A and B are shown apart, each in its own frame.
Chain A
Amino acid sequence: MKMPLTFVLNNQQTTLEIDARQTLLEVLRNQGGMTSVHRSCEEGECGACTVLLNDEPVNACLVLAASVQGAAVITSEGLVKNGKPHPLMKAFTDELGIQCGFCTPGMLMNAYALINRAGEVLLTDQIIRKTLEGNLCRCTGYVNIIKSVQTAQKAKLAGDWW
């Protein structure tokens, strides 16, 4: 069934014509142009399609697009400001928390929400590891990803964040 969908995509009010059977992943990639939202398992196991739905990380492949009517969705494209990488992105580049880059956008979104939730509380290895358990990475062994998240939090605490 075709239906209109209105939601806030990366801070932009967006209206798209969708089919009720489409997942948020399909709509973001195919109609929304957000190709950083990567498709792999389509069953909610790998985390490569993680986006923020009303500020909480979800697997876009497990969300029906129709259900996000009126909600706010942020993809990693939404973290970029005036073409500049978000401080979190910069941390991932600096610490080389990225290898093949396929899991990265999903990882970024989960980490972004975590750092925002954490406030002043310094993120330990253990908390970061537990939070990112649903974002599988086959390249990095996670070590530099943990480091990237910690570096990014330091940037946030120093006021370099949006």
Chain B
Amino acid sequence: MKKREERLILGKGQYADDLEFFNMAHLVFVGSPHAHARIVSIDIEKALALPGVITVITGKEVAAHTRPLPVQANFTSKGWTWRLADVYAIPADKVRWHGEPVAAVVAEDEETARRAADLVVVTYEILPVAGDVLTALEPGAPKVYDDWEDNKQVHLLFDFGDPDKAFDMADQVLPVTNREGRITGLPIEPRGCVGVYDTKNDSLEMWGSFQTPFLSRHNISATLGVPEAKVKINAVDIGGAFGLKIHAWKENVVALASKLTGRPVKWMEPHRDFVATGPHQRDVFWDGKIAFKNDGTLLGLKAKVFHDLGVESTNKGIAALSIFPACSSPTNMYKWVGMHVEGIGTVTNKSFYCAYRGYGKDKGIKFIEAAINQVAKKLHMTPEAIRLKNFIQPHEFPYHQINNYVLDSGDYPAVLNKAMEMADLEGLRKRKKELAAQGRHLGIGLVTAIEPAGVAVPNCQMGGITEARVLITPDGSVEVHSDRTEIGQGAEISHATIVADILGMDPAMIHVKRVTSDFIGQGPLSSRGAVYPASAVAKAAKLLRQKVVHCAASLMKIPADQVVLEKGFIYSADAPDKKISYAQFAEKVFFFPGPRGLDPEMLKAHDHLLDVTTTWYSPTTPESGSAYTSFCVSADIAVVEVDIETGVTQIVKYVHVHDAGTIINAQVVDGQIHGGIVQGIGEALYEGLNYDENGQLMNTSFSNYLIPTSVEAPDIEIAHLETPSPFSETGAKGMGEAPIIGSKAVILDAIEDALSDFGIRVNDAPATPEKVRKWIKKATAQNLETS
């Protein structure tokens, strides 16, 4: 069952950095020290003169030998503002962010390439920087893309339900703002790959830390101008991804280097490169107002959300695409009359924006949860009371939400009630009062969320494509293929469990294969692993089961409805002792007697091989247009203590109740929850990418981009409910991103509760000790003034 884990634990992992090819060369990128500058000249002579250097690739070579990076999402047809930039993998004219590659050195070994990288002399003409999301929109601001009118990349307007009616009906309207700082996902393993261009066949094969090989193949072949059918991308063991290894960009240069040198070329990204030139996320500012009745009934929202997208150049629309879910997700799990949400995306001189666990689905939920807690305070309601009043009820599923999401199933009140019971909410509130009497500041946070999972939207590379193949080999072992790369989320365990259960096999017989671009699919992103690929695998296994039954009935001369598949054996229900193993069965089907021993009707239908390839698409999306298929549910209750003299937050207790439908493997689900929660805590308390006024990224290492260590991570108490999804093949719901949503919101809410004496709104993440202390000092000064 844990084949992969057993292999990795023995030190037998093969990650990108472990790849070795005969005659392999090494590539190192040379980055710009400036955030915005014209490239006046590049002198590579000194670098080329260093013994061991094979070539230096600059933007000129890239422009001569490749095409601009391909468009990945395009909504120009909608009548909204939607701009794209025409750029190459390495620019020839100007650099747009600190660290952007201006050259790539290829050498016999990595050390030599690194040395030569220091010898590349680039002359820049420094340009003023568009550094701030709001000033970048002002008239006369420095432009990131010269041919754009201004720095606004995207402006999207959404009307869900009837927003004006919602505000007409309201007793009260409350303004709410929220800011999330710029962060990055930062798996411990950076990006890396080896490109092997076969000059005899003009074909390309790559191995590396690819989260979505099929999409990477498309993007790399489009850039290189090699037919997609002649390119193959192989995912090796991946040291974490979280969305950051979806799109290929620097990988194009590796492929080009192999083509130009005729040698296998390896690139292993230094960690600082990964931070400075990798995907960034969040960096949003919400400005909205929420409408409600005096009895706590929620009615509507009008809001704008500003995104600092950084440069747009490397993923061509995928960054901007994340504004869609950001704008749609504030509906969360409540009933509404209407919402009007505007999403604005601005380009600045910072590294590009792309996916990280949450992508955008998280943003609206975090905002609305904070807003609802403000409403509760205003109405002197408890946070649980206002939620219980507004939840969609268990009998209302499937529920057609105002934003077109079709919510599949769940028992929202049950999830919250379970969390309150586990946390002993009343006891906690008593404890808070007791500690307050001693001058201590305990805070209790409460947040509920759903997670839209399994994205399928038009006009982009996230359309909901997926394919799976399950086959039984002649010795009875089973191959499982899909687009779901193993990025540490238990893909192999889950797929093996699903297939073993359906075929009645010992999981040891199931071999989940490494993912390559041979199988169609957008891979594990948007928590679609348990939705699309797992459904496709389950569907293929079910079809294969029918074939097994048919073949067994034919070979064993028993009625099909009597065939039992159990624990690796096949037998007739009335003769359990006359059983044959899958190995014996497969041998019969393939060779002895082989197809000639099967039912002639099967042969006439060309349906004899134990091999099924199939695709899967959400049953709900085609008619409803719902961008997502499953919606898992969670409730988070966190208790923190804030040291008001230092601003330091300590997490005292953490409770998480979860309903992700049918659980395929409980350990895997718990692992996702633990990891997501701790990542959310990192975002809430420590993580922030800081650019200075010149556009220099100040923190590019683990020593100053602070992710939680084992010391800051809390113990986490988990409970599960299981309400199957009617829309996935297994009843399971995607859940990989849910924990990061609730945890960030709940920690901030708990801090706000701890600081309730001061009347502080905690609406600017991360809530670092310094920031918390600043809020306290400011509030103390204001309170003094008013008194």
B188–A40 touching, CB < 8 Å: yes
Q: Does B271 contact A (CB under 8 A)?
A: yes
Residues of A within 8 A of B667 (CB): 95-96, 144
Could you say which residues of chain A place their CB within 8 Å of the CB of B624? Answer: none
Q: Which residues of B contact A130 (CB under 8 A)?
A: 710-711
Residues of B in contact, count (CB < 8 Å):
55
A-side contacts of B15, CB under 8 Å: 35, 38, 102
**Interface contact B271-A133, CB-CB below 8 Å:** no
Q: Known A141-B677, A141-B678; judge A92-B189 contact (CB<8 A).
A: no
CB of B675 within 8 A of CB of A103, answer no
Q: Which residues of A37-63 are within 8 A (CB) of B? A: 38-43, 45-46, 48
Q: What are the residues of chain B within 8 A of A90 when measuring CB–CB?
A: 9
Task: Verify if A72 is at the interface (C-beta below 8 Å from B).
Answer: no
Contact between chains at A135 and B710 (CB < 8 Å):
yes
Residue B578 lies at the interface, judged by CB distance under 8 Å to chain A: no
Please determine whether B703 and A143 come into contact, CB atoms closer than 8 angstroms: no
Please state if A89 and B187 are interface contacts (CB–CB under 8 Å): no
Instruction: List residues of B (476-509) whose CB comes within 8 Å of A's CBs.
Output: 487-490
| Cβ contacts under 8 Å, B6 to chain A | 85, 93
| Contact pick for A138, options B10, B187, B489, B671, CB 8 Å | B187
Chain B CB within 8 A of A12 CB:
no
Q: Which B residue sits closest to A83, measured CB to CB?
A: B10
Which of B1-57 touch A at CB < 8 Å? 2, 4-6, 8-15, 17-18
Cβ distance B488 to chain A, nearest Cβ, rounded Å: 3
Q: Complex formed: what's the CA distance from A36 to B7 in Å?
A: 11
Neighbour of B5 across the interface among A76, A101, A137, CB < 8 A: A101
Among the listed B9, B240, B487, B670, which residue makes an inter-chain contact with A144, where contact means beta carbons less than 8 Å apart? B670
With a cutoff of 8 Å between Cβ atoms, the chain B residues found around residue A64 in the complex are none
Interchain nearest-CB distance for B29 vs A (Å) = 15
Q: How far is the CB of B772 from chain A (nearest CB, A)?
A: 22
* Pick from A38, A108, A132, A140: contact of B239, CB under 8 Å: A38
Known: A138-B707, A141-B674. A38 touches B17 (CB 8 A): yes
Scan residues 182-217 of chain B and give those whose CB is less than 8 A from a CB of chain A: 185-190
Interface centre among A41, A105, A130, A146 (most CB of B within 10 A): A41
With a cutoff of 8 Å between Cβ atoms, the chain B residues found around residue A96 in the complex are 2, 5, 667-668, 670-671
- In this complex, the member of B188, B189, B667, B713 whose beta carbon has the largest number of chain A beta carbons within 10 angstroms is B188
Residue A153 lies at the interface, judged by CB distance under 8 Å to chain B = no
Is A102's CB under 8 angstroms from B189's CB?
yes
A40-B189 contact, Cβ under 8 Å, with A101-B488, A133-B709: yes
Query: What 0/1 pattern do residues 702 to 737 of B give for CB contact below 8 A with A?
Result: 110001011101011000000000000000000000
Verify if A129 is at the interface (C-beta below 8 Å from B).
Answer: yes
Mask of B652-681 contacts with A, CB within 8 angstroms, 1/0: 000000000000000110110111111100
B679 near A138: Cβ-Cβ < 8 Å: yes
Query: A89 contacts which chain B residues (CB < 8 A)?
Result: 9-10
A142 B713 Cβ-Cβ under 8 A: yes
Q: Cα distance A50–B676 when bound, in Å?
A: 25
Q: Are A140 and B188 in contact (CB under 8 A)?
A: no
For chain B, what secondary structure do more than half of its interface residues adopt (helix, strand, loop), or is it mixed? loop
Cβ of A80 within 8 Å of any chain B Cβ, yes or no, is yes
Q: A80-B10, A140-B671, A140-B675 are in contact. Are A100 and B187 (CB under 8 A)?
A: yes
A139 engages B675 (CB within 8 Å) = yes
Contacts of B268 in A (CB 8 A): 39
Q: CA of A41 to CA of B670 in the docked complex: distance in angstroms?
A: 28
Q: How large is the interface on A (under 10, 10 to 19, 20 to 34, 35 or more residues)?
A: 35 or more
- Distance between Cα atoms of A124 and B228 in the complex (Å): 54
1/0 per residue, CB under 8 A from A, across B166-192: the answer is 000000000000000000011111100
Per the bound structure, the CA–CA distance linking A125 and B711 in Å amounts to 10
Q: Is B362 an interface residue (CB 8 A)?
A: no
When distances are taken between beta carbons in the complex, the residues of chain B under 8 Å from A41 are: 271, 701-702
A129 — which chain B residues lie within 8 A by C-beta? 710-711, 713
Does A123 touch B at the CB level, under 8 Å? Answer: no
B242 within 8 A of A: yes
Interface residues of B in 283-299 (CB under 8 A from A): none
Question: A14 near B: Cβ within 8 Å?
Answer: no
Q: Does A99 contact B (CB under 8 A)?
A: yes
What sequence of 0s and 1s flags, for each residue 16-45 of chain A, a beta carbon within 8 Å of any chain B beta carbon?
000001000000010000111011111101
Interface positions, chain A 139-162, Cβ under 8 Å from B, are 139-146
Q: Is B594 an interface residue (CB 8 A)?
A: no
Query: Would A98 and B9 count as touching, CB distance under 8 A?
Result: yes
The reply to whether B678 and A99 contact each other, CB–CB distance below 8 Å, is: no
Q: Are B9 and A100 in contact (CB-based, < 8 A)?
A: no
- B633 located at the interface, meaning its Cβ lies under 8 Å from any Cβ of chain A in the complex: no
Given known contacts A96-B671, A100-B187, A128 and B13 CB-to-CB distance under 8 angstroms: no
Q: Chain B's nearest CB lies how many Å from the CB of A114?
A: 12
B671/A144 in contact, CB under 8 A: yes
Q: Which residues of B sit under 8 angstroms from A135, Cβ to Cβ?
A: 710
Q: B674: which A residues are within 8 A, CB to CB?
A: 140-144
Q: Known contacts A99-B671, A133-B709: does B188 contact A85 (CB below 8 Å)?
A: no
CB distance from A29 to the nearest CB of B (A): 8
Query: Known interface pairs A85-B6, A130-B711. Does A139 touch B240 (Cβ–Cβ under 8 Å)?
Result: yes
A133 CA to B353 CA, complexed, in Å: 30
Task: Report whether A36 and B187 are in contact in the complex, using a CB–CB cutoff of 8 Å.
Answer: no
* CA distance in complex: A138, B715 (Å): 16
Q: Please tell me which one of the listed residues B4, B11, B678, B679 contacts residue A105 in the complex, with CB atoms under 8 A apart.
A: B11
A129 to B241, CA, bound (A): 24
Residues of A within 8 A of B240 (CB): 99-100, 102, 138-139
Whether A5 sits at the interface, judged by CB under 8 Å, is no
- With the chains together, A90 CA to B2 CA distance in Å? 11
Interface assignment of B237: CB less than 8 Å from any CB of chain A: yes
Contacting pair B237 A101 (CB below 8 A): yes
Q: Are B13 and A42 interface neighbours, CB within 8 A?
A: no
Q: Is B238 an interface residue (CB 8 A)?
A: yes
CB distance from A119 to the nearest CB of B (A): 22
User: Which A residue's beta carbon lies closest to that of B673?
Assistant: A141
How far is it, in angstroms, between the C-alpha of A96 and the C-alpha of B2 when the chains are bound?
Answer: 9
Whole-angstrom distance from the CB of A77 to the nearest CB of chain B?
5
B5 in contact with A46 (CB, 8 Å): no
Is the beta-carbon distance between A43 and B670 smaller than 8 angstroms?
no
Q: Enumerate 10 A-B pairs (CB-CB under 8 Å) in ascending A order.
A: A48-B188, A99-B675, A100-B240, A129-B711, A133-B710, A138-B242, A138-B675, A141-B673, A143-B715, A146-B710
Query: Which residues of chain A have a CB within 8 Å of any CB of chain B?
Result: 21, 29, 34-36, 38-43, 45-46, 48, 75-77, 80, 83, 85, 89-90, 92-93, 95-96, 98-105, 108, 125, 128-130, 132-146
Residues of B within 8 A of A (CB): 2, 4-6, 8-15, 17-18, 111, 185-190, 237-242, 268, 270-271, 487-490, 667-668, 670-671, 673-679, 701-703, 707, 709-711, 713, 715-716
Given contacts A77-B11, A89-B9, A98-B9, 10 further A-B contacts (CB under 8 A): A35-B15, A76-B11, A99-B240, A100-B487, A102-B188, A102-B189, A104-B9, A133-B711, A138-B707, A140-B675
9 closest A-B pairs by beta carbon, nearest first, are: A100-B488, A102-B239, A36-B11, A141-B674, A141-B678, A45-B702, A99-B488, A101-B8, A100-B240
